[in-house]
């Protein structure tokens, strides 16, 4: 699983697998789920992530492979593999 946060758009992307997406469903306002040909979840997107998913802990830090690197000001996104 990979979790990515894009600060420029305040969007979180949670990737569960590398399978090809064949359908996207709106789960609720600002939350979308992608599914493969067998109906298995591939990924979820959360728009306005700081408010909708309480991702404030990402607002000032960049995490890569669970290691703190540097302030967020110079980076457009983060990626954390779980």
**Residue 21 near residue 42 (C-beta atoms within 8 A):** yes
Mean pLDDT, consecutive 10-residue segments, the chain of 82 residues?
89 94 96 96 93 60 39 45 46
pTM as predicted = 0.67
Starting at the edge strand found earlier in the chain, the sheet holding 41-47 runs 23-28, 31-35, 41-47, 11-15, 2-6, 77-81, 61-64, 67-71
Nearest-5° angle of CA 68, CA 70, CA 74? Answer: 135
């Amino acid at each position: 699983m990979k979790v990515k946060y894009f600060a420029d758009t305040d969007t979180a992307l949670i990737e569960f697998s590398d399978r090809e997406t064949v359908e996207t469903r709106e789960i609720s306002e600002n939350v979308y789920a992608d599914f493969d040909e067998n109906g298995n979840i591939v990924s979820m997107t959360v728009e306005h992530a700081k408010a909708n998913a309480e991702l404030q802990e990402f607002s000032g830090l960049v995490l890569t492979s669970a290691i703190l690197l540097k302030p967020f000001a110079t980076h457009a996104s983060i990626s954390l593999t779980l």
